[in-house]
Structure formats: C-alpha cells, structure tokens
Structure 1
Amino acid sequence: MKTPETIYHHLIDSFTRQEVCFALYRLPWTDEPILVMQEEGSPILLNSLEELNQRKGFLLSPFQLTHTRPAILIRPDIVAHDWEEIKQALQEWTTRHPASMNPIQSFPKEKEEVDTTLQPSEKEEKEQYTETFSRFILPLKEKLFRKLVLSRSSVQPLHEAFSPLTTFIQACNNYPRMMISLCHTPSTGTWIGSTPEIILSGHEEEWHTVALAGTMPMQGEVMPTDWSKKNKEEQAFVGEYIRKTVKRFGSKLTEKGPYTARAGQLVHLKTDFHFCLKDTNHLGNVLQELHPTPAVCGLPKEEAYRFILQTEPHDRLFYSGIIGWMDPQGDTTLYVNLRCMHVEGNTATLYAGGGILPDSTADSEWEETQQKMNTMRNILSI
C-alpha cells in the first residue's frame, strides 16, 4: 500500500491526539484503505450489542460491555475509499475545521521519557502468566470447563518517530490476509490491529462467519498441517458453538472446513459457515449471541466468561471485542479484535491469548502468545 502525501499523513496521525472520532481500515486481499469519520462530537455509545439493530457505522466494542465501558459506533458522516478520495474528504473537512491543521506544525511531537523501570521484564511477565495459567488449568482438569481462553498484555515503549498511520500501512503491506485497522475516539484512545477472524459479514440474505482456533507457527514459507489433538479439539468446540448459534438465526447453512489458514507468520484451523439471513434489522441480536465466541472465551460460555473476568489479572478493554463496519442495508464486515495494541502516549499495550484445554502446558501456551504478539511487534520494529 502506498503512503499518502505528507500533509495528510501528518493530519491523520494528529487525529489520534485530538477530539476526533475516526477509523481507517483495509479488508483482506484488497489494497484499498477506507476512512470512516465523524464530522464532530462524540460517538454513539451502546450498552448492549442489541442496540446495534438497524444502526450503521464503524463499531469498536469491548470484550465486556459495561455502563462505564460501552461499545462505540463512529457515525459515518464521512466515508471515503482509497487515498485520492480520502485526500479529497480531508481537504473538505479541514476547510470546515481549520483549527485541526495546527497540530501539523508541531509534528512530530516532542518525545517524553518512558520509565522502563516500571514495566515488568519478560521474566516477570512469564511468571505472572504461569501463575494465572495454574488457576485456569485446575478447573479444566476438574472438568468444570471444556475450554478456557487465557490472555495477557505486554507494554512496549514506542520509538521517537512512531507514526500510527505508518504502522497501519506496514501492517497492510505485511499481512494481506488480515483486516487491518486504525481506530481512535477520545473515549477509547487509539487502537491498531491486524485480525484474521470474521465474526459476522455479509449483505442482503447472504452471510458468513468462521470458527478459528488452533495455532502453529509457519515453517518458513511452508504452512504446517500436522495438527495436534489439542488444536483439533479446540477448533471443534468453537465450530460446534457457532453452528448451533447460526442455526437459531439463519437457514441454508453450509460449511467448509476445517482447513489450515495462514495469518501472518501463524496458521490456524478454520471453518467457514455460510448461511441465509432474511431479516437484517436484528444484526445486533445475532452479535449478542455470537460474542464472545469460544475462540476468545471458552465453554460453557457464560460460566467461562465470568471466570475470565474474575481471574485474568488485566482488563482486556477492546481486545477480543468486535471491530469493523456495520450497515444492515448494505455490506457488513465485522471482525474479532485480535492481534491488536492500545497506543497511549509513548507506549503500546499489546494483547494476545490462547485456548486452554486440560492437557495444555504453560510453556507452550506462553510461546503461542509470544508468536501472536509478534504480529504487532514486528510492525513496530520496522
């Protein structure tokens, strides 16, 4: 993907330091950036996914919706495709908001000192992860759960020349198979992600979702296909749940998979579910039942969800929530917000997780989260 002219590059970066609500995203196997932006004001706040029914806009929804952390929907006052159209839209927007151009004069901002002594070392992070893993594995071995998903976060300092838009473009260039996003609102802060997992996409009566679970690293440029029993079981649990959920809302269900699908330097087991949905006015109800899928939560769903909220030592925020474009009367492309990071000042908090089954080990699951975090780390190091 090419880079826009410097002035617009700086302008988009400056939006992440202003009271501007916008999202820039690129769908898999395309080279077209799409900008969704509000003219002004706060985004629409939603306390439940059902409130999305008949609404249109760019969605960023947390793993756990609460009154203090609602889902946000960026109103599509401006929607522009490809850099030339985005450039024209930004030109028109800046004539209406001339003060927005001021931050460009001081770009890049002065670097603040990052106190790395307050950030845990990798050894300390792994010790905490191992301790939490032990609290997850016990109820699994006692058969209280069929599966649990344990996630973790890691804070990384950003280099002085860090640019949100440059990071977005690098992700687009490096990960053609994934949905790439750069999203900012004053209430959520700035999120950058590269996710392979659709939660709901489609238009009119034709709809699609996936079961995505199981993880292995690429072997150079060769995709491994020798899946372990643990990975196959994990994927089967997710597929079973999605199959039952889709049947409640849709008809004419067809499946493809499971098959090996690449996502960056990782591969996953994937099953595609295609179905007919005659009433698109209640997409929020479908999302309410799908989210969180066992791929980011566990089974039984409600019990696993409560256990995660009580046991994980960090707040997932918008990691493993929902992100993407929603239009009940047009095209909808919503994804699970994976392989993502939250940018705050001169640091980025990276998130990753993995499915835990009774025969899982702390070392192998830690390594899986490392590989998943490398999706964003590798972009930051460029």
Structure 2
Amino acid sequence: MRNDMITQPTAAATHADDLLAAYQHDDFFLASPKGTLLCRGRRATVSLQDGSAPFGEQLRAAVDTSDDPATQPAIAVGALPFDTYRPAELVVPHTVHRGGPLPARSDEPDQGIGIPQWNTETIPDAAAHQHAVAQAVQQIRSGAIDKVVLARVIRLTTAQPLGGRVRRILRNLAARDPRCYTFAAALPSTAGTRTLVGASPELLLSRSGTTVMTNPLAGSAARSPDPAEDRRRAEALLASAKDRREHTVVVEAVVENLRPLLRDLRVPSHPSLVCTATMWHLSTVITGQVADADIAAVDLARALHPTPAVCGTPTDRARATIGELEPFDRGFYAGTLGWCDATGDGEWVVTIRCAEVGDHELRLFAGGGIVGDSDPAAEVAETSAKLRTLLRAMGVHQEL
C-alpha cells in the first residue's frame, strides 16, 4: 500500500516507549496521536528558499547525491524559527525509526531533573510585561493592528551540564500529557549544543496523500481539578465573546492563506472545545485537498506560519509590534517543527509550550493573545501561570 511505502523506515518499526528511551540529545523526536518518530544523524540538508525547485525534487536530489542512496530515508525533519526571514533548512537523517502513539500513563512525571538550585531571570518582568500589554492594547484600539501575541521567557542557568537531562524532560512531558505533540530537535547554534523540547497542543497542519488538515487553536482557559468547575470553565470559554473573536481572527487568516493552495476547503461554522491536562482551548479542524501534487506539507506549513495564534494580525504589523515590545529573541519559540517526505506527506506542529536547552541554560517561553479588551494585569497572570505549569511539567522545581 502507498502509506506503507511512505513510512517505511530504515530500521524496523519500534514500540513508542523504546523510541523515547533511545532518544539522545542530538536526535529528532516527535510523538503525535498518529505515531512516534525518532531520527538520528545528518546525511544531507535541504535548504528552504522561495522560488527553488519543489520540495520533493530537492529531497530526492539530496538522497541521490548522498554517499549511500540505498539506505537513505526519503524524509527530512527539523524546526523552523519564528522569524520567517531567517534562513531555514531541514535535515535528512541517517536512520528513521517509527512507532505507534505514546501510551497514556496514570503515573506522575519524574520527580525533577536533578538540579537543586537555579539562577533565574524573567524577561520581561511582571511590571514591564504589563506595560507592554497596555501599549499593545492602545495600538489595537487605535486601529494600528487587530491582534498581537506577546510572550515572556524565563532564563534559568546552572553550573551543571544539562545535555544529558533532555531525555528526562522529554519523558516528563510525555507522561504529563500524551495527547500533546511531544518533541525535541537539535538546533543550529554557534554557542554549544542547543535543543528545542516541548509538548505542544497545536497541530499546524498535516498532509496525507492529497488530504490536508489544519487545527488552529486560539482562546484558552485553565482547567480545574474539580469536575463541575472544570466544565463551567469550558462552557464559559465557549461562550466568551473575547475568545470567540480571537479564535475567528485566526481561522479566517488560516483559510485566507490556504485558499490558493487547496480545493474543497471545509471550515466548520463554530469552534469546538479540546483540552490538554491543564488547559481548555477553542479549536477548529479545517480540511481540504491539495490543488497541486507538488505542494508539500512543508510548503503549506511555511504558507501558514506564523498564524495569528502566535503572531497576530495583520501579520507584518503584528510582527513589527512584537519586535518593538518583546525584549528578547524568540528563536524557535512560536515556530514550527515536523517532517516531510519526498511524496509531500508530512506533519507540522506549532512550537509552543516549549523550552530551549543549552549546555548550562534553560529558556522557557509562554505567551498570550492581546486584543482590544485585554486586561494587562490578567495577561501577566496568564503568562506567569503558563510558565509555572511548564516548569512543573518538565520536572523543574523552582519558585518564580
């Protein structure tokens, strides 16, 4: 069957838990509801540039010019940064291992990653972020932009090496919420080894054959351990005019970007609710068929990225506002990560709920969508809560 040919790995398919246990800090790992992928090594790279040959042709050329084409998997993997103007490339790995989805677990994550004390810095601090949100609200109310997403970062440093602890962080994230897209990818760096690791709730898009699916999330609410309160919060989110407006902006932008590339677009008229272990989200599943077989999953990902869910709208003005108000470089936070094969099939996720792990540094990111009726104090509280949740999920025990 065609799908068997697409997913044929270099090594035999393996149980998902075994792939997680085998992960090393310079591998590529992605676990999704469809299955688990572990890629190792670098045999070639594929540069992503506008106006170049179709991605499938580039990937086949990279395979054909490798040292041993017979063992080269026709797949490329990697992460793309938030800034779409930066150079980007994907890696063609030495080996590809596939397994089923990670199993659901009832046990709690590991009790920490073995660092008793960190030096901690939050950028921007609460007061500065509240001021930035107020400035953004002012711009929105003046009509300069419709929405912008502003983020914060916690920078934790330690004298102890962190590279060997990425696997434990990855295991903690997978145990906390196997419904998310759990990932780890080595990043290009001139300052030692750096790895992007996280558990995102959001699929940017997938392509299988001619069928494309994207699932934008926008509008969220924290969950409660009390079932009645949890349901009340979910229903309040679904009825929230502010969150529905924020969600509609994202869906409309996704549809506008996909319309020239897909046919038979199907867009539900109302959002639905989805949840992770800690959050409720407004969700819309959009499907369509590729208009041209040469349009690969990575091409569609680049056409959509960045969505208003991580940037804002209009995109260029929102991105400029982020540059003015955020005092740090996002790097690969709010970018996209995934894989694409030579037929054009692939899967790409939005890199949120994530951290960048260096030799002695851990940077965690969290953001929130700002619209005209956003409350600056509430936005500070939201990002602080997200950062604390992410710390706990990774097994980092540090007070903010």
Please, what TM-score do these two structures have when normalized by structure 1? 0.79
Q: Spell out the pairing of 1:369-380 with structure 2 (5 A cutoff).
A: 369-380=383-394
Structure 2 contact 218–247 (Cα < 8 Å) conserved: yes
Q: Deviations over 1:158-195 (max 9, x none)?
A: 69696211211221121122110011145382110111
Change (3 A) 1:3 1:273: closer
Q: Distance in 1 between matches of 2:353 and 2:54?
A: 24
The answer as to 2:246 corresponding to 1:234 is yes
Q: Distance in 2 between matches of 1:141 and 1:309?
A: 19
Q: Spell out the pairing of 1:1-382 with structure 2 (5 A cutoff).
A: 4=18, 12-13=23-24, 15-16=25-26, 22-28=27-33, 33-39=36-42, 43-47=45-49, 53-54=55-56, 55=59, 56-66=75-85, 69-82=86-99, 116=119, 119-120=120-121, 125-157=125-157, 163-187=165-189, 189-220=194-225, 221=227, 222-223=230-231, 224-227=234-237, 228-256=240-268, 257-283=270-296, 284-329=298-343, 331-381=345-395
Equivalent position SS for 1:281 = coil
Structure 2 contact 254–307 (Cα < 8 Å) conserved: yes
Q: Distance in 2 between matches of 1:255 and 1:178?
A: 23
Structure 1 contact 36–76 (Cα < 8 Å) conserved: yes
Letter of the 2:41 counterpart = Q
Give 1:322 deviation, angstroms.
0.9
Cα RMSD (Å): 3.1
Structure 2 contact 42–91 (Cα < 8 Å) conserved: no
Runs of 4+ in 1 over 6 A off after TM superposition: 49-52, 110-113
Change (3 A) 1:245 1:39: closer
Equivalent position SS for 1:282 = coil
Give 1:328 deviation, angstroms.
5.0
Q: Distance in 1 between matches of 2:97 and 2:47?
A: 23
Structure 2 contact 219–247 (Cα < 8 Å) conserved: yes
- List runs of 5+ in structure 1 lacking aligned partners: 17-21, 84-109
Equivalent position SS for 1:264 = coil
Q: Deviations over 1:267-305 (max 9, x none)?
A: 110100010114242335433331111111111122212
Letter of the 1:58 counterpart = V
Q: Deviations over 1:31-83 (max 9, x none)?
A: x5421122457x444355977732441120000034xx422312132101249
Q: Distance in 2 between matches of 1:50 and 1:353?
A: 34
Structure 1 contact 59–326 (Cα < 8 Å) conserved: no
Structure 2 contact 43–93 (Cα < 8 Å) conserved: no
Q: Distance in 1 between matches of 2:255 and 2:351?
A: 21
Count of residues paired in the alignment: 339
Give 1:380 deviation, angstroms.
2.7
Q: Distance in 2 between matches of 1:82 and 1:338?
A: 24
Change (3 A) 1:381 1:185: closer
Structure 2 contact 145–314 (Cα < 8 Å) conserved: yes
Letter of the 2:170 counterpart = F
- List runs of 5+ in structure 2 lacking aligned partners: 1-14, 60-74, 101-113
Greater shift, 161-170 or 252-261, is seen at 161-170
Change (3 A) 1:39 1:50: closer
Give 1:252 deviation, angstroms.
1.1
User: What does residue 93 of structure 1 align with?
Assistant: none
User: What does residue 98 of structure 1 align with?
Assistant: none
Equivalent position SS for 1:184 = strand
Give 1:379 deviation, angstroms.
2.3
Letter of the 1:120 counterpart = E
Change (3 A) 1:47 1:365: farther
Instruction: Report the identity percentage.
Output: 24
Structure 1 contact 48–71 (Cα < 8 Å) conserved: no
Change (3 A) 1:210 1:347: same
Letter of the 1:166 counterpart = R
Change (3 A) 1:137 1:52: farther
Greater shift, 197-206 or 275-284, is seen at 275-284
Change (3 A) 1:52 1:359: farther
Structure 2 contact 222–280 (Cα < 8 Å) conserved: yes
Change (3 A) 1:264 1:76: same
Change (3 A) 1:64 1:326: same
Please, what TM-score do these two structures have when normalized by structure 2? 0.76
